[in-house]
Amino acid sequence: MIRGIAPRMTARDRVTQAGRWLASRSDRWYLFAGWIFFVLACYPGYLSVDSTLQLYQVRSGEYSDAFPPVMTFVWSVCENVLAGPFPMILLQSGLFLFGLAALLRTVVTPRVAALTAICVLLFPPVFATMAVVWPDPLMAGCLIGAAGALVQPSKRWQMAGLVALVVACGCRPEIALAVVPIVLLAVPAPAAWWKRIGLALGVTIAIAGLARLADWGLTDTKTWERQQRLMLTDTVSTVRRIHLKENGPAKAFAGMQIVDVKDLPNRLSTKHDAFDWYPLAHGDKRPFDLVTSDEQADALAAAWRRTIKKYPLSYVKHRELVVKNLLMLGGHSAVFDSFGDVELLAPLHHRAIASGWQDGIRAWVRAIAATPLMKPLVWLLLAIAVVIVERKRKSPAKSLAASGLLYLATLALLSPAVEYRLAHWIVTAGVTAGAALLVAWRWPAQTPSR
């Protein structure tokens, strides 16, 4: 070799050098690299019509209960730092990524925890919803972030975790029961099981109560939309299964805002179950008008209870179909990757177009969406398997899986529609629980978990 001239590096040498460089990076470096990858894949964040209308409320400062007021408030705080959907994407993905890494570090090595958290966040069944500004991905981020905070020895971190759970319950009140296994992560294991569950239930009730109080305090305009989403679809679907004659439908919906009593049987004549409340209260062929007062809301609730009591089998059949459709959802309907309606966003001065890189990510996610991996049923079965395997142990995997199963039990009664985003926590809980169990078996932590 001639002195002063470095030997020429082969391709193998370059790969080895790159591998050594990557191996020398810190775990935090990997987490931030994965976070940047996620953000670049969906920047500045996908927006549906609901997301855009909620952004209007963020800008106006007038909150309604059509969208979770707690989430609107959080978005308003973020809006003071960066305008638009981008800060919400940062928030929900950051809570998810760093919270999951912190949770996994209790059972695996820090490097494996970081890499696993990145893989879960970028996994298409999880990524597809986490890339959109909706209540559901923020809820998932808060739940995972809270789990990671609650396993820390610091009281400050545990308090931060409880605050995150309040936000999660504010995003979706239906998640309250599923919060119990997350809270159990912070309860000392030596205590008797009934004491641990009782303490977790008490804390969860307090969290849900604070969330409801915050919603009430932040609401400027009542729309009763959450109530209508559930009760209209339940009542209409239940009655459609009963072949009522003459004035039967009018009697079943007595007290409700019927558009045309004489034409009501025709407007309810479809044989399909109602999984979407919107056409029931909007459009020229709508059977009902929107609820606009507490008295009308009470009448709707009375009709809902009366119908369930009188036709319980029909109601159960409807809810069974809701759960079946939630679990079997798949295909392109599970993926939302639009930057929002241009005309609707124009007054907000927000417009985004996809880059070539993002087009590639979209194609990859949609390709996975066409497979069974996008069906919540797959991840529900995995969650059940994790609970069975870990039934005698206190582990993050079991807590996450149990949370997903409890959420499904709640959705069986309270799901207002059939959408992939509503089942997203079932998917996320199954994916994270399965990943946690796998890596804990293959790369266990050097020290026992708390």
Of 111-115, 272-276, 441-445, where does mean pLDDT reach its minimum?
A: 272-276
Dig out the tokens for 358 from the structure.
């993002």
- What 69-72 contacts at long range (C-beta under 8 Å, 24+ apart), as own/partner pairs, is 69/170, 69/214, 69/215, 69/218, 69/219, 70/166, 70/167, 70/170, 70/171, 70/211, 70/214, 70/215, 70/218, 71/135, 71/138, 71/167, 71/170, 71/171, 72/218
Partnered with residue 258 across adjacent β-strands are 288
pLDDT at 118 over 70: yes
- Mean local confidence (pLDDT), 83-110: 96
What whole-number distance in Å separates Cα of residue 440 and Cα of residue 204?
A: 28
Side-chain-side CA neighbours of 4 within 13 Å: the count stands at 0
| pLDDT digit string, tens, across residues 184-243 | 998 877 667 788 889 999 999 999 999 999 999 999 999 999 999 999 999 988 888 776
Mean pLDDT for the stretch of residues 45-50: 95
Highest-scoring range by mean pLDDT, 11-15, 95-99, 233-237, 246-250: 95-99
Inform me whether the pLDDT recorded for 445 exceeds 70: yes
* Whole-angstrom distance, CA of residue 426 vs CA of residue 240: 29
Mean pLDDT over all residues of the chain? 90
Alpha-carbon span 96 to 119, nearest angstrom = 12
Buried-exposed string 28-49: b where 16+ CB fall within 10 A, e elsewhere: eebbeebbeebbebbbbbbbbe
Q: pLDDT category, 20, cuts 50, 70, 90?
A: confident
Nearest-angstrom CA–CA distance, 170 and 209: 10
23-44 per-position pLDDT tens digit: 777 899 999 999 999 999 999 9
Burial class (CB in 10 A: 0-12, 13-18, 19+), 166: buried
How would residue 415 be classed by pLDDT, with cut points 50, 70 and 90? very high
The CA radius of gyration of the chain, in Å to the nearest whole number, is 24
| DSSP reduced 3-state for 46 | strand
DSSP label at 221?
A: B
